[in-house]
Amino acid sequence: MLTRFRVLFLVFLASLLSACGTDPGFDKFAEAPSGGLRVLNAIPDAPPLFVEYGTQSLGNIPFGDASGVQNVIPGLERTTKVSYAVGRELQTVAETTLLVPQDQLITVVLTGTLDNVQFLTLEEDTSLPADDATTTDLIFVNATSNPAPIQIDLVDGAEAATIFSSTLSAGATTNALAVPESTELSITTYNADTDQLIWQSGDFGAAAGLRPIIVLVDHFGPSPEHRGLYVTPIGLFPFANESLPSALSFMHLIPDRTSIDIYSRAVSNSNPFAVFVDIDQSAEAGSYEISIAQLATTPRYRINEEFESADVELGTGALSITNGDQTTTVTIASGNNTLTNLVTQINTSGASVTAEIVTLENNNVYFVISPQDRGPETSLLITTEDADEQNEDAEGLSRLASSNLVIETDAITAQFTVNGTDYERSSNQVADVIDGATLFLGLTTGESTVTFEISEQELRAGNLSYLSRSEPVSAVEGTAIFYITPPGEPTNILHQENLSVQPGAYQLVSASGIGEDLDLGLAADPRRPITGHVVTSVIHGAPSTPILDFYVLQSGRSISDFTPSGNDVPLLAAGFYNLTGLTFELTVAESDSNTVLAGPLSIDTTVEGIKRLLIIDADGGGTPPQLILQDAVN
């Protein structure tokens, strides 16, 4: 990873410096002088902000994100405006003058509040690092809104040494700190007044010469109050190993049930790319360690014949391809029966196989096919209905029948260890090691191990009444299985579904459906207030209208004149809008006919806040849908 960062950084520097001339005299062939400018939006109560440098736009920048690096004309002071959209107009909230020196990169961090924007300007070192460089410069920026100073400790785990330890006031930056190239750096921040731990980055890397900026910004998840962003000349990145807790609320949108319980079981996993764990209600709870020495591969089969060209015609008829319990028929017609055509048709047929053409050193080609991993039942059987009515000979289409294929590469078994016990399986889908759990092996782990924990079944929302939302409860990142049951009946499962909990955010799990056809969905649950705006989420919870369109438009506008804000919206999908300055309306329509089903419902934007708009069934279920406006937080 560090090598990749270093290469990308050198490419960036070369592109920036190549845009700069060196001859002060006139030369029509000289490259134009250039500088770089980038802006990061760290204003916690701001909507996406438009930034203009003179007449040059740096785009629309959401909170916690940065524009790309823009090449600008250097050496000239230019007015820089910060605005946000109100309808089709831009409302300017701040402006300043900036001068970008030639051959330099300027990063501007917007801090403060929407009513009092502050410009924090950093001039970055863009000189090429020495070929033998083993250190890089690192700068900390405190862009948080908390006036209390932050204690920052930077540790190099490889040396077990603290490289930097100091306090940093709000709106301040450190000088450039020389740090060694390492993959085991970590940051811990504290409230300098109370010594309370706030945030930990987890291990991260710094390549020699990369010169990252660590920007501390407000965080609006359950905790902590701030987090760090890793900013380099090639982009902005989150810290991959930071620990950000999540929180879930639960909402009952099933119109024919007075109340429900919602339970969950979760899997916390240190490396879901190496092994993904899928569980059901019977999964055995506990902690597990797994190391993966070898992944399984399926066998590869080939036609026992070489061809001079992939354009050779192989015959016509039909192939029946069976892998495990799945059978797919592929019809091969005249004029579409070359080897190339055949591979394309097989790979786009939905059959759980992969076909390819292999070119030999003599430029001859042959056909290869292999089954995709479908668990222990993986196997391959191909039968043909050849147009020449000879279905097993070595001519025409029947050359692809299993009886005429030879093994090119034997299958390899998966070899792995769980809690100290060695296992060998024919598939990377393993369902017979942990009761109620299926392991999907994805990467070998070398000498390291992956740890995961399967939780016990836990009541998350009890006796939840229709249209009510539970208080947030803590959750861990990763896959969780959720169950809907009648109140007080934990084993009477009405519906269960796996959902993926995202890190560091409030999220809403909604239960909808009608009768026995129930559903669960997970969506963001916004908690960041925006000055002068109504932060609005629209959730489709009307099971009797499973697909619909909705429109969020300024009052007085007709839906016939605009495209939908949400088009062909499925049940429990959500849309999010920051509304300001005008009166808006929500209207729901049929996707096919554009017939209005509900609304318009007026949305008052004169009082800022966070609102939720629910599209739900008629009372007791059925149509037409109705619209409900709720306060999303209280």
pLDDT digits (tens, 9 = 90+) for 536-566: 999 999 999 999 999 999 888 999 999 999 9
Pick from 154, 169, 271: nearest CA to 206:
154
To the nearest whole number, what is the mean pLDDT of the chain? 87
State which residues form the domain around 422: 291-296+414-431+439-452
Q: What is the pLDDT of residue 13?
A: 46
Three-state SS for 177-189 is EEEECEEEEEEEE
Q: What is the pLDDT of residue 21?
A: 44
Integer Cα distance of 286 and 567 in angstroms: 43
Those residues whose C-beta lies under 8 Å from the C-beta of residue 366, and which sit 6 or more positions away, are: 302, 303, 305, 306, 307, 357, 358, 360
Whether pLDDT at 633 is above 80: no
Residue pLDDT, tens place only, 154-170: 999 888 889 999 999 99
367 and 484 both lie in a single domain: no
Integer Cα distance of 612 and 31 in angstroms: 53
Residue pLDDT, tens place only, 405-460: 888 888 889 999 999 999 999 889 999 999 989 999 999 998 889 999 988 889 99
352 and 419 both lie in a single domain: no
Q: What is the CATH number of the domain that holds 543?
A: 2.60.40
- Order of strands across the sheet that contains 70-72: 70-72, 35-41, 105-113, 116-124
If you search the block for the tokens 């070489």, which residue do you land on?
306
Q: How confident is the model at residue 625 (pLDDT cuts 50, 70, 90)?
A: very high
Q: What is the CATH number of the domain that holds 272?
A: 2.60.40.1120
Tell me which of 99 and 284 has the higher pLDDT: 99
Q: Of 466, 498, 521, which residue sits at a domain end?
A: 521
Whether pLDDT at 244 is above 60: yes
502 and 547 both lie in a single domain: no
Q: What is the pLDDT of residue 32?
A: 61
The token pair that represents 375 in the structure block: 């668990």
Whether pLDDT at 73 is above 90: no
Which stretches of 502-591 are assigned E, i.e. beta strand? 506-514, 517-524, 534-541, 547-554, 566-570, 574-579, 584-589
Comparing 113-127, 305-319, 479-493, 498-512, which segment has the lowest mean pLDDT?
A: 305-319
Integer Cα distance of 345 and 334 in angstroms: 13
Whether pLDDT at 400 is above 80: no
User: In the predicted model, what is the mean pLDDT of residues 205-210?
Assistant: 82
27 and 115 both lie in a single domain: yes
120 and 178 both lie in a single domain: yes
pTM of the predicted structure, to 2 decimals: 0.76
Q: How confident is the model at residue 335 (pLDDT cuts 50, 70, 90)?
A: confident
69 and 202 both lie in a single domain: yes
Residue 201: φ, ψ to 5°: -80, -25
469 and 396 both lie in a single domain: no
Residue 7: what residue type?
V
Whether pLDDT at 6 is above 60: no
108 and 229 both lie in a single domain: yes
Q: What is the pLDDT of residue 581?
A: 79
Q: What is the pLDDT of residue 17?
A: 44
Output the CA–CA distances (angstroms, integers) from residue 234 to 40, 316, 501, in the order listed.
14, 53, 29
363 and 398 both lie in a single domain: yes
Q: What is the pLDDT of residue 86?
A: 85
Whether pLDDT at 310 is above 90: no
279 and 381 both lie in a single domain: no
Structurally, the chain folds into a number of domains equal to 5
444 and 567 both lie in a single domain: no
Q: What is the pLDDT of residue 317?
A: 82
Residue pLDDT, tens place only, 90-137: 999 999 999 999 888 999 999 999 999 999 999 887 777 777 888 888
Q: What is the pLDDT of residue 417?
A: 95
Residue pLDDT, tens place only, 7-66: 444 444 444 444 444 444 444 444 566 789 999 999 999 999 999 999 999 999 999 999
User: In the predicted model, what is the mean pLDDT of residues 271-291?
Assistant: 88
Which stretches of 431-546 are assigned E, i.e. beta strand? 437-441, 450-454, 458-465, 473-475, 478-485, 495-501, 506-514, 517-524, 534-541
Rounded percentage of the chain residues whose pLDDT exceeds 70:
93
Residue 378: what residue type?
T
Residue 265: what residue type?
R
33 and 96 both lie in a single domain: yes
Whether pLDDT at 299 is above 80: yes
165 contacts 191 by C-beta, under 8 angstroms: no
